[in-house]
């Protein structure tokens, strides 16, 4: 199979329900063809023509009940079904879905992403401190203390709504989430208005929206006309997308970092030794970019946290056109594809050494590291996310001692909507250093 010129997926509106159809074809010709990474589906299907799926599927509902009541078990079963071919199928509330476990098949899908082909479907303490960070970096001083509090409440409503069924009725969780999004957009719109005023006046940028606005103001001045993407409404949508990507995903990584440090004391000790060699909490000086680059082991640990517990374990997309998926199969319009990003040699072992200079698995198994996507769907904020996590780990282990309150099921995965430990990572904190550092951005 060669890469198709046909668009794959786009938004979920319209069209008949998707499904997998079987097409007749001579798969024996595979032997005579050049084998490239996108031929994996053909090679697998040459061995077995039947796609794995659950034995029992209810009319219309499909397996929606098990997906809602036991989501972790649902995806475990779907992954087991995908063992032989690298993908499996199911049926959820009127739609066929395809779960993709194979790294190579995932790369094939990612490689075909285009604007007209695919559309991405879209712990209180850790979330709150992470939200403070995100707000400051994205919109800075344009949010008052009162606005930050309202923002936090509305964002929590929005985030909760992502895990619920789409019942848009008064007092239902989804309705509350939809209304919260409208209020969040208004807040961002006000931030964009304030930023545009400052940038037109020639002030220095102090947050992400300022840098976007500064460039937009420059282009407006050069073109001497109002550009279609320069309205406050257009610009305020970008910080919202970044916030959604950064907030829930980074909160998940913060929690898993603490969880894994607590359960791997040898890793914790090595991180503390490395950070102490590079700087001191008594200096009251922010960690520099150069110091960050020197934290080789902490960076390796950060990469392994994200590999071992990718915040977004699945990357759903919806087929907008019939698409030749393999020699004998076509994915029809409307099918939902779930791409798993958790596929790596000895993937169930937590080993920061994978990313050491000696092993260099980030190079050897680069194609398996899909936590940030691949191809056109590669996360533009991945460097920010990694640096953010390295800084958090370095500061957290330096100034605090912590002890996890472990229970029998505390390490089980919970969706909220990204993954986090079932207990929310309950820990006792105490000061480790003689005094807390006095840090400021000014």
Q: Where are the domains of the chain?
A: 20-122+315-340
Per-residue model confidence (pLDDT) at position 352: 96
Q: Please tell me the distance from the alpha carbon of residue 352 to that of residue 38, in angstroms, as a whole number.
A: 30
Q: Is 285 helix (H, G, I), strand (E, B) or coil?
A: coil
Helix (H) or strand (E) holding 87: strand 87-92
d(CA 148, CA 298): 31
pLDDT at 113: 60
The reported pLDDT for the residue numbered 27 is: 27
Q: Rounded to an integer, what distance in angstroms lies between the CA atom of residue 245 and that of residue 237?
A: 13
pLDDT along the chain (442 residues), means of 10: 34 35 31 32 47 75 76 83 81 79 74 52 67 88 90 88 80 90 90 92 92 89 79 76 80 93 96 91 84 95 95 82 80 85 86 92 86 82 92 93 86 84 85 83 66
Q: Which has the closest alpha carbon to 418: 23, 127, 70?
A: 127
Q: Which of 134, 148, 130, 139 shows the shortest CA–CA distance to 205? A: 139
Contact predicate 290/166, CB 8 Å: no
Give the pTM.
Answer: 0.69
- Given this model, what pLDDT does residue 114 score? 56
Are 376 and 109 in contact by the 8 Å Cβ rule? The answer is: no
CATH of 20-122+315-340, one of 3.40.470.10, 3.40.710.10, 3.30.930.10, 3.30.43.20: 3.30.43.20
Q: What is the model's pLDDT at position 204?
A: 93
**81 within 8 A of 100, measured Cβ to Cβ:** no
**CB contact at 8 A, 131 and 143:** no
Q: Are 239 and 209 in contact (CB under 8 A)?
A: yes
Task: Report whether 420 belongs to an annotated binding site.
Answer: no
DSSP β-bridge partners for residue 427:
404
């Amino acid at each position: 199979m060669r890469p198709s010129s046909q668009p794959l997926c786009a938004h979920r509106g319209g069209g008949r329900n998707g499904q997998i159809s079987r097409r007749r074809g001579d798969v024996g010709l595979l032997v005579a063809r050049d084998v490239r990474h996108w031929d994996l589906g053909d090679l697998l299907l040459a061995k077995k023509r039947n796609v794995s799926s659950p034995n029992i599927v209810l009319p219309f509902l499909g397996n929606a009940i098990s997906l809602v009541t036991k989501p972790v078990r649902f995806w475990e079963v779907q992954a087991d079904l995908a063992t032989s071919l690298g993908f499996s199928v199911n049926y959820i509330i009127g739609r066929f879905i395809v779960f993709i476990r194979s790294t190579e098949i995932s790369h094939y899908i990612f490689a075909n992403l285009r604007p007209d082909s695919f559309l991405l479907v879209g712990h209180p303490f850790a979330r709150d401190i992470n939200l403070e960070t995100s707000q400051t970096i994205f919109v800075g001083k344009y949010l008052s203390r009162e606005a930050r509090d309202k923002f936090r409440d509305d964002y929590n409503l929005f985030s909760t709504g992502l895990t619920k069924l789409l019942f848009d009725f008064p007092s239902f969780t989804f309705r509350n989430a939809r209304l919260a999004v409208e209020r969040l957009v208004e807040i961002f719109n006000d931030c964009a208005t304030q930023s545009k005023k400052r940038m037109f006046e020639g002030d220095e940028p102090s947050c992400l929206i300022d840098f976007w606005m500064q460039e937009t103001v420059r282009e407006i001045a050069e073109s001497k006309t109002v550009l279609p993407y320069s309205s406050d409404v257009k610009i305020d949508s970008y910080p919202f997308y970044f916030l959604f990507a950064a907030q829930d995903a980074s909160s998940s990584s913060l929690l898993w970092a603490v969880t894994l440090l607590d359960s791997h004391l040898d890793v914790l000790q090595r991180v503390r030794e490395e950070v102490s060699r590079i700087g001191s909490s008594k200096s009251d000086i922010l960690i520099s970019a150069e110091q960050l680059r020197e934290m080789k082991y902490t960076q390796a640990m950060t990469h392994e946290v994200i590999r071992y517990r990718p915040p977004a374990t699945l990357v759903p997309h919806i087929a907008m056109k019939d698409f030749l998926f393999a020699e004998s199969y076509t994915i029809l319009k409307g099918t939902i594809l779930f791409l798993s990003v958790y596929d790596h040699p000895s993937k169930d072992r937590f080993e920061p050494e994978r990313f050491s200079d000696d092993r260099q698995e980030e190079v050897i198994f680069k194609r398996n590291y899909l936590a940030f996507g691949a191809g056109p769907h590669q996360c533009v904020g991945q460097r920010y996310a990694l640096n953010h996590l390295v800084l958090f780990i370095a500061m957290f282990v330096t100034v605090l001692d912590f002890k996890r309150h472990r229970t029998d099921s505390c390490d089980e995965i919970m969706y909220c909507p990204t993954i986090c430990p079932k207990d929310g990572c309950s820990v006792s904190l105490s000061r480790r250093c003689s005094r807390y550092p006095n840090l400021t951005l000014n």
